[in-house]
């Protein structure tokens, strides 16, 4: 059974802080994704990674960066948090060629 975990369910940070969101999957998946979920906007892809140290920008990468030093772990970094980054952040993983994405429980980030 695929398990995707995220480091926090809820997080409150102040404007300008550096924020780290971590995601770990235990199924040896090659692909990992970071989305943000906002009402009425669905799931929007921030970044994805298809291998260790490999990453590509998604649709809304501005203000974010990512790190994938190990296959099972994919981190999302907000270099300087802003109030418009208040959102639900979802991590997902998938096996190369199979396309089904397995999601983590999400992190609700509030930036004040």
25 binds another protein (CB under 8 A): no
Give the CA-trace dihedral at 38, 40, 46, 49, to 10 degrees.
100
Residue list 89-108, contact with another protein (CB under 8 A): 90, 94, 96-101, 103-106
To the nearest whole angstrom, how small is the minimum distance from the Cβ of residue 91 to another protein? 10
31 binds another protein (CB under 8 A): yes
Instruction: Answer yes or no: are the C-beta atoms of 33 and 101 closer than 8 Å.
Output: yes
Query: Within 10 A of 42 (CB to CB), how many other CB atoms are there?
Result: 9
- Of the residues 14, 20, 26, 59, which one makes contact with another protein according to CB under 8 A: 59
């Amino acid at each position: 059974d695929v398990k995707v975990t995220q480091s926090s369910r809820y997080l409150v940070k102040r404007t300008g802080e550096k924020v780290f969101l971590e995601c770990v999957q235990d199924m040896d998946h090659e692909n990992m994704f970071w989305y943000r979920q906002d009402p009425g906007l669905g799931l929007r892809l921030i970044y994805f990674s298809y291998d260790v140290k490999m990453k590509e920008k998604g649709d809304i990468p501005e203000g974010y960066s990512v790190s994938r030093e190990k296959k099972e772990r994919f981190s999302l970094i907000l270099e300087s948090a802003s109030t418009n980054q208040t959102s639900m952040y979802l991590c997902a993983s998938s096996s190369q060629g199979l396309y089904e994405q397995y999601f983590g429980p999400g992190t609700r980030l509030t930036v004040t």
